[in-house]
């Protein structure tokens, strides 16, 4: 990592997915860093799975200096199992088209955001980037993980052939304020938080969770993830993928107990072992990010969890605004 400060004021940054969970935090962080312009394409205007839409996006924003590609079709185990083809196609096409046309448009840097779902199912813990090709991903989210993995291959191929500055980051499971709490598509932390709140509100004496609780996961607070992406965008220029995580591992069973405690739910946690566990363990080796661009997570897991729960509690109890006269 260079000791010279990065001049964000000279940057015109396109952030795909910038209105989403991670993207909204990243956009706020880029503004705080003084970015010259932050452009957030909206899905209604640009279908990033279509070549013409991607070409139009770059034509509409000449002078862009960087693309940070966060847009993705994502979700938990259930929706991955229901829509493996959609998850594969959407993510493959968005990544391939955005990177190819960024290169053609002469945009100097492309920051690809991958996933730790790309790792083999039985990767030794902690996951090291060099282990990425030593097996097949966990089956329930393999189509998503492999589609994202192709963006890494494309980035490395373009660097080799064209000298193009494309980098690839692999965040661990993210959480925080603004997360997706829709039970059909949410990840584990928002799903558990919502279940505990609903049990409290309806007087249920138990909640039912998938699997047996033994798998482990690593989680990174979303504001830390935004800071990591910005650091890599500013200072990283190399072909090797980089893990973005906290280095902290917790079992789903312990996670459920902790969330119930923080929410105030004192009922029973039951495990539906007819449902899949997902990958047995996930914890990242985060040393490359520390060496390459100085990233280390700063938010403790309990603090981040409390902020997430506080945000969700406020959303659940927020009063519905009274329409103004004449407002529909």
Closest CA to 196 of 277, 251, 258: 258
Domain holding 81, by residue range, is: 8-179+219-247+283-299
3-state secondary structure of 149: helix
Average of pLDDT values for 167-172?
Answer: 97
The Cα–Cα gap between 64 and 41 comes to 13
What is the C-alpha separation between 13 and 27, in angstroms, rounded? 9
Residue 313 lies in a domain: no
Q: State residue 80's pLDDT score.
A: 82
Could you read off the pLDDT of 114-132 as tens digits, one per residue?
A: 999 999 999 999 999 999 9
- The CATH number of whichever domain residue 40 belongs to comes to 3.40.50.720
In a domain? residue 165: yes
Confidence of residue 328 (pLDDT cuts 50, 70, 90): very low
Q: Which pLDDT does position 227 carry in this prediction?
A: 98
The whole-angstrom separation of Cα 258 and Cα 300 is: 14
Query: Does residue 295 belong to any structural domain of this protein?
Result: yes
Structural domain includes residue 185? no
Does 13 score more than 60 pLDDT? yes
Per-residue pLDDT tens digits for 76-89: 778 888 999 999 99
The phi and psi torsions of 275 (rounded to 5 degrees) equal -95, 155
pTM summary value:
0.91
The mean per-residue pLDDT over the stretch 256-265 comes to 96
- Say whether pLDDT at 324 is over 50: no
**Residue at 260 is within a domain:** no
- Cβ contacts of 81 within 8 Å, gap of 6 or more: 140, 276
Q: Mean pLDDT throughout 19-40?
A: 97
pLDDT tens by residue, 58-72: 999 999 999 999 999
* Average pLDDT of the residues in 101-111: 98
Residue 3 has pLDDT above 80, yes or no: no
Look over the chain and give the mean of its residue pLDDT values, rounded to a whole number.
93
pLDDT reported for residue 10:
98
The residue-averaged pLDDT of 252-271 equals 96
User: Which segments within 211-261 are labelled E, that is strand?
Assistant: 216-221, 242-244, 249-251
**Active-site annotation, residues:** 144
| pLDDT for residue 318 | 53
Q: Is residue 50 part of a domain?
A: yes
**Statement: residue 320 has pLDDT above 50:** no
| Domain-located, residue 318 | no
Give the chain's domain count: 1
pLDDT at 211: 92
Percent of the residues in the chain that have a pLDDT greater than 70, as a whole number = 96
**In this model, does residue 256 exceed pLDDT 70?**
yes
In this structure, are strands 109-113 and 37-39 parallel, antiparallel, or unpaired?
A: unpaired
Residue pLDDT, tens place only, 145-155: 999 999 999 99
Over residues 140-146, the mean pLDDT reads: 93
Evaluate whether residue 119 is within a structural domain: yes
Decide if pLDDT at 191 tops 70.
yes
- Average pLDDT, integer, range 186-190: 90
Question: For residue 292, what pLDDT is reported?
Answer: 98
- DSSP string for 184-211: TT--HHHHHHHHHHHHHHHT-SEEEEES
The pLDDT of residue 2 is 57
């Amino acid at each position: 990592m260079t000791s010279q400060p990065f001049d964000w004021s000279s940057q015109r940054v396109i952030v795909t997915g910038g209105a989403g969970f991670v993207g909204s935090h990243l956009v706020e962080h880029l503004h705080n860093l003084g970015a010259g312009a932050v452009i957030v394409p909206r899905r209604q205007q640009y279908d990033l799975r279509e070549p013409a839409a991607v070409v139009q996006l770059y034509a509409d924003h000449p002078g862009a200096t960087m693309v940070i590609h966060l847009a993705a079709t994502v979700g938990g185990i259930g929706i991955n199992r229901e829509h493996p083809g959609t998850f594969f196609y959407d993510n493959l096409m968005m990544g391939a088209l955005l990177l190819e046309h960024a290169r053609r448009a002469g945009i100097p840097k492309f920051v690809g955001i991958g996933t730790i779902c790309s790792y083999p199912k039985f990767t030794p813990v902690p996951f090291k980037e060099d282990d990425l090709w030593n097996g097949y991903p966990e089956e329930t989210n393999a189509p998503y993980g492999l589609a994202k993995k192709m963006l890494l291959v494309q980035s490395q191929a373009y660097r080799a052939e064209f000298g193009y500055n494309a980098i690839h980051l692999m965040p661990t499971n993210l959480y925080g304020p603004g997360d997706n709490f829709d039970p059909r598509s949410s990840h584990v932390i928002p799903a558990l938080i919502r279940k505990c709140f609903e049990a409290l509100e309806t007087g249920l004496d138990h909640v039912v969770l998938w699997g047996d609780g033994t798998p482990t996961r690593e989680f990174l607070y979303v504001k830390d993830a935004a800071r990591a992406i910005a650091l890599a965008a500013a200072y990283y220029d190399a072909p090797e993928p980089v893990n973005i995580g906290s280095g902290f591992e917790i079992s789903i069973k312990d996670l459920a107990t902790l969330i119930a405690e923080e929410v105030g739910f004192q009922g029973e946690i039951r495990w539906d072992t007819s449902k899949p566990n997902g990958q047995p363990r996930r914890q990242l080796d985060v040393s490359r990010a520390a060496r390459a661009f100085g990233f280390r997570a700063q938010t403790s897991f309990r603090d981040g969890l409390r902020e997430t729960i506080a945000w969700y509690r406020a959303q659940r109890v927020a009063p519905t605004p009274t329409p103004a006269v004449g407002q529909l």
